[in-house]
């Protein structure tokens, strides 16, 4: 399933990314892509490929 998540670097958003990325393709809307990269780098490698910044 594809999921569009707004606020991917916020408090709730980063926790949702960690939970959902293992099973779904996530399109994350963020203001600053570098902040999302920091969050993505903290995840397990198989989850990292499922997150696409927008």
Per-residue pLDDT of the chain (54 residues; tens, 9 = 90+): 999 999 999 999 999 999 999 999 999 999 999 999 999 999 999 899 999 998
d(CA 42, CA 45): 9
d(CA 35, CA 33): 5
The reported pTM is 0.85
d(CA 34, CA 54): 12
């Amino acid at each position: 399933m594809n999921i569009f998540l707004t606020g991917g670097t916020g408090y709730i958003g980063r926790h949702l990314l960690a939970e959902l990325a293992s099973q779904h393709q996530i399109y994350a809307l963020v203001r600053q892509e570098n902040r999302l990269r920091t969050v993505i780098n903290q995840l397990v490698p198989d989850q990292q490929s499922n997150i696409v910044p927008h």
